[in-house]
Chain A
Amino acid sequence: EIVLTQSPGTLSLSPGERATLSCRASQSVSSSYLAWYQQKPGQAPRLLIYGASSRATGIPDRFSGSGSGTDFTLTISRLEPEDFAVYYCQQYGSSPSSNFGGGTKVEIK
């Protein structure tokens, strides 16, 4: 089973700053099968990025995904107030299974 480790656990930043979130896999993941989600309290997760770098419908271009193999990154170029939330990565390439990372909380500094 592929284990996804997200770091840091918590990221304290101010609005306007750049956020860089890491997702590291215990084995190589096909870039086609790595996704990122945002979740706010009391809400369902929201798909941001799929296929490692493709933005989902309606996602602002300040969100970008990159990486390959075992190292993937979600970058938020300039944090807006609504971006403070928990972010999860998910791999779905080790078919027929899938799993999520433990999450990174982006909080206001």
Chain B
Amino acid sequence: QVQLQESGPGLVKPSETLSLTCTVSGGSISSYYWNWIRQPAGKGLEWIGRIYSTGSANYNPSLKSRVTMSIDTSKNQFSLNLSSVTAADTAVYYCARSVDSSSSSSQYWGQGTLVIVSS
């Protein structure tokens, strides 16, 4: 059974960089899309971006200037960096795996990690 687990600081200061890692177990990180999605409290889902196992990434245009994703296939991990954060970036951040190698619909999800941006 594929499992994903987000890790990283739960509190980030304004203007700093939010860094999260997702560790994948129970399956290979190869040949899938790996997504980051976030959800502010009481609000809807926002797609942040995705990275393929080859390292090719696509980002939400509204966040593109601040987002970088990377993948480490040797560790079965992928990561999210979001720079110059503000209070508006406070949210639960989810990592997720695509159904297959051709889509970004997300079948397997981490439990989510709450990141608060505050001084």
Contact = CB atoms under 8 A, between A and B. Distances in A.
A82 interface: no
A10 interface: no
B58 interface: yes
Contacts of B107: 47, 50, 56-57
Interface stretch (A16-24, A73-81, A96-104): A96-104
B44 A51 contact: no
Contacts of A98: 47, 50, 60, 104
B111 interface: yes
Given A88-B45, A90-B47, A97 B60 contact: yes
A63 interface: no
A57 B103 CA distance: 16
Kindly state the interface size class of chain B when it binds its partner.
Answer: 20 to 34
Contacts of B11: none
Interface of B: 37, 44-47, 50, 58-61, 94, 96, 99, 103-107, 109-112
22 contacts: A33-B104, A33-B105, A35-B105, A37-B106, A44-B94, A44-B109, A47-B99, A50-B99, A50-B107, A51-B103, A56-B99, A92-B103, A92-B105, A95-B58, A96-B58, A96-B59, A98-B60, A98-B104, A100-B46, A100-B47, A102-B44, A103-B44
Given A51-B103, A98-B47, 19 more contacts: A1-B61, A33-B103, A33-B104, A35-B106, A37-B106, A44-B94, A44-B112, A45-B37, A45-B106, A46-B109, A47-B106, A47-B107, A50-B107, A51-B105, A56-B107, A99-B60, A100-B44, A101-B44, A102-B44
